[in-house]
Amino acid sequence: YALSAAGKGGLKGSEGGRGTVYDDTQAKEGGCKSGCTTYDPPEVKGYPTIGIGHKIEKDERARFQGNLLGGTPLTEQEIEDLFSEDINSRVKQLNKYLGDAEVTQEMYDALFSLGFNLGMHAKAMKAIYASIKSKDYVKAANLIAAGPDTSKGVSSAGLRERRQKEAHEFASGGTPSSS
């Protein structure tokens, strides 16, 4: 399986794109939603992020040090290249977790969006994979709709809306046997 062009476009719409390091919890008061000068609290309340939803891990901080606010933003091409790296690694992860389970393209795109946000290995994802492998697609869609909608323990209306969109997309193409 692979992420479709529509799935990639939807993910870009959900994640947005920025050339400087930002706080992924943009709605929180005090966060550096327009750009961060550091990776750490109190400025960063959530996760330091760059490009199109690329969470900066601690071992990547040196790589993106020059992209903190006041530094040089990533170019559009660098943002696209980083997004492609993220997509390629996550496609491999998602395909590994799905194994030989059958999904429609819409299901795959929805799962990819959810996994891009949560991590393909997240506990919520594992329950969804199990439902798909047992061909209980209704349960999988319900698990997506009820999926995690918090960041660092704080509820997010934006994540609740995203989970509903992902659940709708998951169900929109029918089941693999009817596609």
Judge whether residue 157 has pLDDT over 50: yes
Candidate from 19-23, 148-152, 169-173 with smallest mean pLDDT? 148-152
Candidate from 3-7, 37-41, 90-94 with smallest mean pLDDT? 37-41
- What pTM was estimated for this model as a whole? 0.92
Nearest to 149 by CA among 166, 136, 137: 166
Calculate mean pLDDT across residues 163-170: 98
What is the predicted pLDDT for the residue at 42? Answer: 84
Task: Give the model confidence (pLDDT) of 39-80 as tens digits.
Answer: 988 888 888 999 999 999 999 999 999 999 889 999 999 999
Calculate mean pLDDT across residues 103-112: 98
Contact 130, 99 (CB under 8 A): no
Nearest to 175 by CA among 104, 123, 79, 117: 104
Contact 36, 20 (CB under 8 A): yes
Judge whether residue 29 has pLDDT over 70: no
What is the predicted pLDDT for the residue at 178? Answer: 52
